[in-house]
Amino acid sequence: MNLKLLKALSEAFGPSGFEEDVVKIVKNNVPFCDIEIDAMNNVYLSLKSNTGNKPKLLLDAHLDEVGFMVQSVAKNGLISFVPLGGWVPTNVPAHTVHIKTETGELVQGIIASKPPHFMSEKEKSAPLELESLQIDIGASDRETVINVFGIQVGDPIAPHVIFNENSKSDFVFGKAFDNRMGCFAVIETLRLLSTIEELPYDVIGALASQEEVGTRGAHVTGQVTAPDMAIVFEGSPADDLYYDAQTAQCVLGSGVQIRHMDASYVSHRRLINFAKSLADAHEIPYQSAVRRKGGTNAGRLHTSGKAVPVLVLGVPSRYVHTHYNYASLKDVKATIDLAVKVATAPVQKLSID
């Protein structure tokens, strides 16, 4: 498993609409694919062995991470921002970020928080509003922020976190596991499939932009690729710390998550059953999940064209939509292994006669 690639993907700057750095990393790591990039930063990866006369299997993941955008710069040099994607306000303060300027420079800042010494009891107990937060880049006036650091209204902002592997476990730590874990799984699955001489499908990877702000990239990739079947890879929110063993459905170290339902789609039962049968036959650990909330690119893809059977495979990831994540390499491997088994199995008839 290429941990250097996983590290690069995790650390890359890439909030919704500003995925260019992630695209460059992908472009440099897929010699086994023909690559196309559209005007929206969507990336299309076609195996060089594709023939054009087989059913098309789409491997989907989204490139973007949750982030922010500069909205204004105050007289004292503090920067107001708006969210790109879903954040819980209390998770945001007192963490470091990078602001990417027009020239591509990454400026480090900290999301400012008032020390308790200066807070009234009323302030301490009041709900935190995202609109009240500001970023301090180490300047004392608006002119310095704009003229010296080059920061402008509209500049994108992303968490700044260094990836590392825990030497005492198989856990990895970093940012943006939702969904750089999915991007990594797509690339690794394509790499493994490229070594197989005869595949039942023409396989296309589509790494979509702007999922976190409305699955917008997948609206395009579904139309462009027109797949017969799709696998959506996600860094799925781990729930192992919040529920008991009978209730939790996204546990680190327990295998790939097979998602049956969320707010964006209801799974294709025959495809789910087929994937589970392959996992059982090859002893690939998995866990089934029914989600009350959330969604993935499957919501867009399964209603594209004449309808597309979609399988959602998740890598359990703790603390998604925050600065910091944990995931288990065992689960990453299980996700890739199951995807390869689905992609190499004989084409299934998934419609009703």
- Catalytic entry in 19, 65, 188, 211: 211
The total of other beta-carbon atoms located within 10 Å of residue 167's CB is 5
3-class secondary structure, 218: helix
Q: Sign of dihedral through CA atoms 320, 106, 220, 204?
A: negative
Query: What distance in Å separates the CA atoms of residue 238 and residue 331, rounded to the nearest whole number?
Result: 12
Tokens standing for residue 19: 């995925």
Residue 283 falls in the annotated catalytic set: no
Q: Sign of dihedral through CA atoms 166, 167, 171, 175?
A: positive
3-class secondary structure, 9: helix
Is the link from the previous residue into 53 a cis peptide, with omega within 30 of 0? no
Q: What residues have CB less than 8 Å from 250, skipping those under 6 apart?
A: 236, 237, 238, 239, 240, 257, 287, 289, 314, 316
Task: Determine contact, residues 142/74, Cβ cutoff 8 Å.
Answer: yes
Q: Which residues are catalytic?
A: 211
